[in-house]
A and B are shown apart, each in its own frame.
Chain A
Amino acid sequence: MLAACLLPLGLLAGPGGAAASASQGEDPVRFTVALLNEVDSFNPFLGIEVESYEMWALTYDYLVDFSTDDLSLQPSLATDWESSDDGLEWRFTIRDDVTWSDGEPLTADDLAFTYGRVLGKGPEAATWKSWLAGVTDVEATDDTTLVMTLSRPNSVLPMVPIPIVPQHVWSDVTGEQMKSYAAEPTDGAPVVGSGPFRLVEGTAGGSTYRFEANPDYWNGAPHVDEVVFRVFKSEDPAVQALVKGEVDFVEGISALQVASLEGRDGVLAQNADTPGFDEISFNAGSVDLETGEPIGDPNPAVLDPDFRFALGLALDRQQLVDTVYQGAGRPGSTIVPPGYATFHWEPPAEDLSHDPERAAALLDEAGYTTGPDGMRTLPDGSPIGTLRLFARSDSATSTDVMAYFKEWLADLGIDSEVTTVESSKLTDIILAGEFDAFEWGWFVDADPTSMLSYMTCDQRGNWSDSWYCDEDYDALFEQQGSELDPEARAEQIHSMQEMLFRDAPYLVTAYNTTGQAVRSDRFACLLQQPAGTGQWIFQQGTHTYRSIRPADEAGDCDGSTGATEASEAGADEGVGTGVLVGMGGLAVLLAAGAAVLVVRRRASAEDRE
């Protein structure tokens, strides 16, 4: 009887229900991912959101790829490359077995065309030109050879993250049209690309994007038929959808959600390392860029590298990670995350440790001695006053970190005040130089050049947010930019990090993580990048999308090491958090209703008397 009653309910639940197993019958095998943000453009020359980068990676190929293990360079469209001794000419060998999804062959001409557009003056340049710094000419000498001519060496090559678009489609798009060219399916025709998948449905800003597998992909056909992205506007419903089985993957969820999913059967959840960091940034010297005169009103103390370095020792990074990041993160050190093993420089442990006594001693040494009121003074004896710290209102992490920082400063005898503002407002404050310190963070590209550039003098008034400027640092930046010996270049990048660590315009607080979870009872063979700690999707490249397969066909994932395994089903059974929350909510509701009734009854009883 009960079953009979439930049957129609089950039918009502429809295709979104758990019944839609990944590998049943002739339904396509569909891997559904919940995103927490929309794609802003499928046109790789226009979009800026990370979600868009992910879509381009599915659709297009790149000059080179990055390994899952350690992000080392791998061949992609280019199988081989060499540069002249002076670094002014690069020669790439392009694969000859790649076709566009409409059947046309992909040749070196397509690469020359794509880079050529970037080297022009249109919106394509605004997006990607920095990666081709020094490149004056790109030419396809034959179908499989691409030659780049440079005016000065560029050590970023060949790590150019520009998606290669088909010339025979995109050459029809004029510069003016490019400003709003969408690169979306039109009249039922999918977007032309050479990647492992092709976009068949979806528009930028929309809520669903559907990709079909490319069975002829040169690097191996994917094992799923479709990847579908669904946009959720908040975290909880996305997690509920995973639990219910409406989606197979969620990303960008909090450490709390990961913890709630971790014990659940049929679900695999992790806090994955992201290629970024959070920092407390100081005003290291805001100036009018034309006159060179100081602008804003930084406290004289924060202009002093010794003062800033000493404050770094007052930070308890481990406590920040444990409390603010709920354990989902790692204590930070420099602006190149440790995931980029070759480029990362690790400071001596004693300079990173939480050592308030040494901090106090260093401050005394630098002249910031304690006055009769217990507060520290400037070297000239005048009071330091109140340091103005800024936190971002859209980030709980930001406000919490600054609350701790204020306390640690107070322990050292330094008064401070935290103001919480919106990110956009903070940008204005930074440009005006009207701050002493703030909390923010960055993502770092696989090649650290962009991150390193933000600390150069040239970037003040642009992307530099600490106003840091140092000739020696700039000289090293120029040098590494044209250094062709990888080892020497890594060394120079280490030196730059060391300089920044000593001068401390940034106190890197933490390397953050992002929560990801997959229905492991339905899909297996997801790969982490970097191995062991990294993300399952949102990687450099499309490794997981090509490796993933239905749980019952997983086998040994073709011998991939570190791939996720299939697990027993069971996410649908038992009492989940959702139910507990729901029951709790109902109980509260009932209690509230009862309370209202009692109060009213009492009131009316009084009235009667």
Chain B
Amino acid sequence: MTLAASAEGVLAAPSGGRRARGGYGRYAGGKVLGSLGSLAFVLVVNFFLFRVLPGDPARTLGRGRFSSPEQLEAFSATYGLDEPLPRQFLTYLGNTLTGDLGVSLRYRVPVADLLLDRIGPTLLLVGTSTLLAAMIGMWLGTRAAWAHGQRFDRLSTGASLTLYSMPEWWLGLLLIATLAVGFGPVPGLFPTGGLHSVDVDPWSPGGVLDVARHLTLPVLTLTLAYLADYALIMRSSLLDELGSDYLTTARAKGLRDVAVRNRHAVPNALLPATTVLALNFGFVVAGAITVETVFSIPGLGLLATEALEIPDYWVLQGAFLVASVGVILANLLANLLYGVLDPRVRT
């Protein structure tokens, strides 16, 4: 019902129809414009943010090499590092807008290629974990709130809090030491790290299975770590609803407990959890640096952290741009969705 109305609003907006004023179209348009503004801001900040970092790539990359001052200058000249900053900025703007993200100083390959290689593993790892964590977490939270104060509530809340407070790398190492290496008579079930085995093509049917095996432990680690977020939010927002009159009404109508929970209480309690989920999806591309490190998954987060040491400006800019676009898009999507779910925000 609401969805149909909003679709109409969107359609009506460009022609300036009656519903447009204060309607969904205007709201959505504003949000899109805002996002474009953020994007422009990111483009500018992106350049200067990394130029104020300490360090000079030519020096970091050359440390310990037998070279003369002239050779150092030659390096800087080769990669355009000796040009005045405003000029570098213009080059950067022009290149970025035409889709050229530059060449990595460390790897000497186009940054776009590097990012493309790394974004897949990251999306797979963090995306899967976020989805799993949200699904399991929300389910746990709902059940816990419904069984408020009972054993299930105490157990699930206690467990998710414990997992929440454990460092991700430690959880990962724990899983490696047990499930990957094996203990006692139990053999190691999963690989200790990497994305796929040495001579396996990850795109073949066998390769997909192989990748799945490699991703099991890292996904498990992240899922366990993210779980509490959703479980706790879902639990508390459902608890807020529990005393509401409409639930008493629903019960008075003689509805079964499950129906009261799933059809009346849960939909109303979903909003905060949706916000968290949407925001987290924005960060999916940014990767999960600690887990990528422990399991040696060649992801975007790891790439960016390592680029900081040089600093590898072009890789940093590219990674930051991709991550920012992810967050901006997720935000936009969340805002648009909110406008649909809760019409009050449109004004």
Contact = CB atoms under 8 A, between A and B. Distances in A.
Contact of B67 (A179, A463, A578, A596): A463
Contacts of A406: none
Contacts of A458: 68-69
B56 A581 contact: no
Nearest to A424: B55
Chain A interface secondary structure, helix, strand, loop or mixed? helix
A40 B162 contact: no
A144 interface: no
Contacts of A32: 198
A590 to B, nearest CB: 10
Contacts of A592: 162
B162 A230 contact: no
Contacts of A593: 158-159, 162
Interface stretch (B181-189, B262-270, B335-343): B181-189
A16 to B, nearest CB: 5
B106 to A, nearest CB: 5
Nearest to A590: B162
B54 A422 contact: yes
Which of B170, B199, B210 has the largest number of chain A CB atoms within 10 A? B199
Contacts of B174: 581-582, 585-586
Contact of A240 (B64, B176, B197): B176
Nearest to A15: B197
Q: 6 tightest A-B contacts by CB? A: A424-B55, A450-B66, A596-B158, A582-B177, A582-B178, A425-B54
A233 B292 contact: yes
Contact of A579 (B106, B114, B173, B183): B183
Interface residues of B, number: 77
A180 B197 contact: no
Interface stretch (B70-78, B82-90, B135-143, B275-283): B70-78
Contacts of A126: 67, 71-72, 74-75, 78
A419 interface: no
Interface stretch (A106-114, A329-337, A441-449, A489-497): A441-449
Interface string A1-16: 0100010011011111
B170 to A, nearest CB: 7
A583 B182 CA distance: 11
Contact of B55 (A14, A427, A583): A427
B161 A579 contact: no
Interface in B75-124: 75, 78-79, 103-104, 106-110, 114, 117
B180 interface: yes
Contacts of A17: 187-188
A462 B68 contact: yes
B311 interface: yes
B78 A237 contact: no
Contact of B69 (A41, A461, A579): A461
A416 interface: no
Interface string A227-248: 0101111101110110110100
Contacts of B298: 205-207, 231
Given A210-B199, A246-B192, A597-B158, A237 B176 contact: yes
Given A130-B66, A579-B178, A428 B55 contact: yes
A83 interface: no
Contacts of B207: none
A13 B189 contact: yes
B177 A240 contact: yes
Contacts of B149: 604
B244 to A, nearest CB: 23
A10 B187 contact: yes
5 contacts: A15-B197, A205-B104, A234-B294, A425-B55, A427-B55
Contacts of A6: 185-187
Contact of A16 (B53, B173, B195, B197): B197
B109 A182 contact: yes
Contacts of B286: none
Given A126-B78, A228-B198, 15 more contacts: A10-B187, A126-B72, A179-B103, A180-B103, A230-B198, A232-B193, A232-B296, A233-B293, A240-B181, A244-B180, A424-B60, A449-B66, A463-B63, A578-B181, A581-B174
A131 B66 contact: yes
A180 B108 contact: yes
B226 to A, nearest CB: 17
Contacts of B177: 240, 578-579, 581-582, 585
A523 B60 CA distance: 37
Interface string A418-430: 0000111101100
A40 B107 contact: yes
A600 B198 CA distance: 49
B162 A596 contact: yes
A43 B110 CA distance: 15
A182 B155 CA distance: 55
B194 interface: yes
A256 interface: no
A169 interface: no
A243 B188 CA distance: 11
B284 interface: no
Contacts of A208: 194, 198
A462 B66 CA distance: 11
B240 interface: no
A473 B86 CA distance: 42
A427 B60 contact: yes
A48 interface: yes
